[in-house]
Structure 1
């Protein structure tokens, strides 16, 4: 019976192991792609990020447009005489821009996600981190672009683009702060045990914001003695923090013994 149970357990564990192996390989591919992308010139990186994100956004928008296509058939149409009054036509255009069919929704989502990702990419490269300011600027740009492309501008497209951008920025800023508060209340995850020394080092140097960069690149505690400037650059850590980290590792007697 015991041998039979062991065989059953091994058969159950095989699919789980296969799934974990696939997840690990996908993670390696993702990290390799991000590492390659980070080495490209800023215009190239921004263009690739914008294009790929816009394609994904368009696919999501088209799917949602198909799911809600019945709603568009019931949208009101402006009366013929209103064509002489832009203010009267504007509300109808705004409703149609938000609740259009698959092509309209694909365009809207492509613009929102693509512009947001492109601006975020540029801000991260210039500022070296992802923070509230970068998030708000990207949201403002995507909101303004959406207003201009979707035709929601009405008689005053510039003013409406600014208003839409401002609303997007406020919403994104609130979401960012809520996300930070939620993360701070969560218990440490299981993989945090592999970054205990790393977190301690970054906290000591005042660089705790870069913990996620280490996790993104799978730079665990065991890799600290092996860290190089190139490895830190691949996970998008700016020159100043890189110098502080490498200097700390060089001065740490325990890490020097591990080399």
Structure 2
């Protein structure tokens, strides 16, 4: 211990220890997510190279499988309630409207197999029609979304037994309802997902305020219509009219003067 070798040996860390520690500290969930995204990206790339019938069939099948899994899970939660609405012994004597109402209730409260079938049909048809519309029209818009929703709603009504005595009319009504709902959802999604359009006339102004740490006053500039065009013309009174305090006004004017010496000399001469 006197020569310090033992102490040095005890604190020595192998060169590869840092790498092992880094690997052990890596989040396994993040690794799985990264692998999943990589596989998904490759699958989409392969699918985009296929013909329209192949792509539509694969998309329909995969979406139907996902819908079946969701429906089966829902069916396990509603399976007990479906027994409460089973047809009575004298079901044959019920009027068509009563039987239609009974079938509608069963469509949403059936067991795992019933729910898996219904949801699989709805999601598969929706995805398949969306795929075809996207390939044919070259874009995915609200019209394509509504057409896909109409088809899935109509087929869902027929397969689930919700059609009642007049299946064609009820399928048409359900399809229209699905289309209107999907159209509204699509429009809302587009509205909230699109980033705000950058105003090109505030680029220099925004950069100046950011450099000065005065980002909070950007709304004052916009409200006072002070943009890049008026930036070289800024005066203390103009900034004061925009409700900007004295301290930020001094910083802004000093910045404008430093970037435009001629303007600074002109202001001095006008005093």
Do they fold alike, i.e. is TM over 0.5? yes
Q: Deviations over 1:4-39 (max 9, x none)?
A: xxx99x847744365544433332221111111111
- 1:60 corresponds to which residue? 70
- 2:157 corresponds to which residue? 147
- 1:73 corresponds to which residue? 83
Q: Which has the larger radius of gyration?
A: 2
Alpha-carbon deviation of 1:141? 0.5
Higher helix content, 1 or 2: 1
C-alpha distance in 1, partners of 2:146/2:83?
35
2:121 to 103, 111, 120: 111
Distance 1:21 1:59, change over 3 A: closer
C-alpha distance in 1, partners of 2:91/2:63?
41
SS of the residue corresponding to residue 26 of structure 2 reads helix
Q: Could you state the TM-score of these two structures normalised by the residue count of structure 1?
A: 0.63
- 1:183 corresponds to which residue? 193
Say if 1:83 and 1:89, in contact at 8 Å, map to a contact too: no
Distance 1:48 1:12, change over 3 A: same
Alpha-carbon deviation of 1:127? 1.4
Say if 1:82 and 1:88, in contact at 8 Å, map to a contact too: no
C-alpha distance in 1, partners of 2:132/2:114?
27
- 1:131 corresponds to which residue? 141
Question: What residue ranges of structure 2 are gaps of 5+ in the alignment?
Answer: 1-10, 198-271
Matched, 1:99 2:109: yes
Alpha-carbon deviation of 1:59? 1.0
C-alpha distance in 2, partners of 1:22/1:85?
55
Matched, 1:31 2:47: no
Distance 1:84 1:27, change over 3 A: closer
Distance 1:163 1:180, change over 3 A: same
- 2:181 corresponds to which residue? 171
C-alpha distance in 2, partners of 1:44/1:81?
44
Say if 1:145 and 1:161, in contact at 8 Å, map to a contact too: yes
C-alpha distance in 2, partners of 1:38/1:151?
36
Aligned alpha-carbon RMSD (Å): 2.9
C-alpha distance in 2, partners of 1:84/1:142?
29
Distance 1:85 1:69, change over 3 A: same
Alpha-carbon deviation of 1:83? 3.2
The count of residues paired between Structure 1 and Structure 2 equals 184
Q: Deviations over 1:110-137 (max 9, x none)?
A: 0010000000110111111211111111
Alpha-carbon deviation of 1:109? 0.6
Q: Deviations over 1:153-176 (max 9, x none)?
A: 111000000011111111111111
Q: Deviations over 1:64-101 (max 9, x none)?
A: 10012121122263461653632231111111122111
Say if 1:53 and 1:117, in contact at 8 Å, map to a contact too: yes
